Structure 1
């Protein structure tokens, strides 16, 4: 009887793990101004824990490929529209901005850490296409992730002297089918 209960408990735990994994949404951030023959994707370099742009060929882009170039968005409780962005490759690492240097890295959230440096807002960057987004940090008003000379920086999304959004901050948000 004891082994029967243990077996049922293990089956239940396995089922709940599968349900939790299926509930996670896996996304890829593709730099919108990429050349047509290749795409630049936001990428977690696990050797340096840097957030980088990586060039991928167009045939690497399907709904079921690209898990190593993907991220998991976790909603921040009681903060509408705010998310933590975890690496699908190493889910203990989150996209982080250093507000002093504007450097973007991937780091673990330690106990007592300021979670604001890990908190992002996914902002619609083009009204005609809801998949075109900007990743805006909450540390600085209107500052978002942008490609600058093959590196990622945090800069002001507004065009110089105006109120229009700068489209060079655009990423295409692509959901990858979760097969976990």
Structure 2
């Protein structure tokens, strides 16, 4: 990705997309698989994503809704996994009655270790559901409205120092 735009992380992406459709005005499905041979931590200028898989569906013309089922994002680097994110995604284009697009993500985080994604992050493990809803207006100067709902559970991997008492 860094080769396309300065400031983006370095990657070595390899992917496959299988598209099934009966025409532009008919429902279409796409199965996407992307691997990153150069996965690594953000603080090293790399993208901490090892693999992305998703099944997308929508009608190409006019594209008014896009659904992502079976979304799976495997995090980590070339040596070790740093967690798994699974879930669904939904995008809906602005319509005559609404002047904004809507995006909804319903995700399940499994054994995410932030310090393995970026060394500056805390040493912990996170798991649990995460829901994000975003409304993006068509007018560029308008504010976005978003809602985040999470019930993440975490455990700290840091050892606490043993208290020392002096008398």
**Structure with greater strand percent:** 2
TM-score (norm 2): 0.24
TM-score (norm 1): 0.23
Larger radius of gyration: 2
